[in-house]
Chain A
Amino acid sequence: MSHNEFAISVQGLKKSYKNVPVLEGVDFQVKAGSIFALLGSNGAGKTTIVKILTTLLKQDSGHATVNGFDVISKPDNVRQSISLTGQFAAVDEILTGRENLIMIARLRHLNHPHEIAAGLLERFGLTDAADRRAATYSGGMRRRLDIAMSLVGNSRVIFLDEPTTGLDPEARMEVWKIIKERAGSGTTVFLTTQYLEEAEQLADKIAILHNGRIIVNGTLAELKQLFPPAKVEYIEKQPSLEDIFLTIINKKTHA
Chain B
Amino acid sequence: METIKNHFFMDTRVMLGRSMRHIFRSMDTIITVTIMPIAMMLLFVYVLGGAIQTGTPNYVNYLLPGILLIAVANSVGYVSFRLFTDVQRGIFERFNSMPVARSAALWGHVLTALVSNVMSLTVIVLVALIMGFRSPAGVLSWLAVAGILAMFTLVLTWIAAIAGLSAKTIDGASAIAYPIHFLPLISSAFVPTSSMPSGVRAFAENQPVTAFVEAIRALLSGQPVGNNIWVALSWSIGITVLAYILAMRAYKRRG
B2 touches A1 (CB 8 A): yes
Stretch from A101-109, A190-198, A234-242 at the B interface: A101-109
Cross-chain contact of B255 among A56, A77, A91 (Cβ < 8 A): A56
From the candidates A84, A95, A99, name the one contacting B94 in the complex (CB within 8 A): A84
Note all chain B residues with C-beta closer than 8 A to A88: 89-90
Question: Which of chain B's residues 1-46 have a Cβ closer than 8 Å to chain A?
Answer: 1-2, 4-5, 7, 10-11, 14, 17-18, 21-22, 25-26
Which candidate, B60-68, B95-103, B145-153, B198-206, is the interface stretch facing chain A?
Answer: B95-103
Instruction: Verify B4–A90 contact, CB threshold 8 A.
Output: no
B residues contacting the other copy or chain, number (CB 8 A): 26
User: Which B residue sits closest to A107, measured CB to CB?
Assistant: B100
Bound Cα distance A31, B2 (Å): 21
User: Is the pair B26, A94 in contact by a Cβ cutoff of 8 Å?
Assistant: yes
Chain A residues with Cβ below 8 Å from B21 are 94-95, 99
Partner of A56, one of B2, B5, B11, B97: B97
CA–CA, A108 and B90, complex, Å: 18
Q: Evaluate contact between A54 and B97: CB separation under 8 angstroms.
A: yes
Contact pick for B25, options A94, A106, A108, A149, CB 8 Å:
A94
| CA–CA, A81 and B14, complex, Å | 21
Which chain A residues (121-178) contact chain B, with CB distance < 8 Å? 133, 149
Assess the A108–B99 pair: CB atoms within 8 A.
yes
Cβ A90 vs Cβ B100 within 8 A: no
**By the criterion CB–CB under 8 Å, are A90 and B90 in contact?**
yes
User: Whose C-beta in chain B lies nearest to the C-beta of A99?
Assistant: B21
Contact indicator B18/A95 (Cβ below 8 Å): yes
CB nearest to B94 among chain A residues:
A90
Contact check: which of B1, B11, B89 meets A107 at CB < 8 Å? B11
- CB-CB contacts of A56-95 with B at 8 A, as 1s and 0s? 1000000000000000000011011111101111111111
Q: Given the known A-B contacts A93-B89, A94-B25, A95-B18, are A107 and B95 also in contact in the complex, defined by CB atoms under 8 Å?
A: yes
Chain A residue numbers with a CB within 8 Å of B98 are 79, 83, 104, 107-108
Q: Which residue of B lies closest to A102 (CB)?
A: B14
CB B96 to nearest CB in A, in angstroms, measures 6
* B residues less than 8 Å from A99 (CB atoms): 21
- The verdict on A55 contacting B2 (CB below 8 Å), with A86-B90, A94-B26, A109-B7 known, is no
Question: Contacts A56-B93, A86-B93, A90-B93 given: A79-B255 contact, CB under 8 Å?
Answer: no
- Judged by a CB distance under 8 angstroms, whether B196 is at the interface is no
CB distance from B231 to the nearest CB of A (A): 39
In angstroms, Cα B98 to Cα A80, docked, is: 7
- Decide if B91 is an interface residue (CB 8 Å cutoff): yes
| Residues of chain B with a CB closer than 8 A to A104's CB | 98
The distance in angstroms between the C-alpha atoms of A1 and B89, with both chains bound, is 34
The answer to whether B99 touches A80, judged by C-beta atoms less than 8 angstroms apart, is: yes
A182 to B60, CA, bound (A): 65
Knowing A83-B98, A94-B22 touch, does A77 contact B4 (C-beta < 8 A)?
yes
The contact sample of 21 A-B pairs, CB cut-off 8 A, is: A1-B1, A55-B96, A55-B97, A56-B97, A80-B4, A80-B99, A82-B97, A86-B94, A89-B90, A90-B93, A90-B94, A92-B91, A94-B22, A94-B26, A107-B11, A107-B14, A107-B100, A108-B99, A109-B5, A109-B10, A133-B25
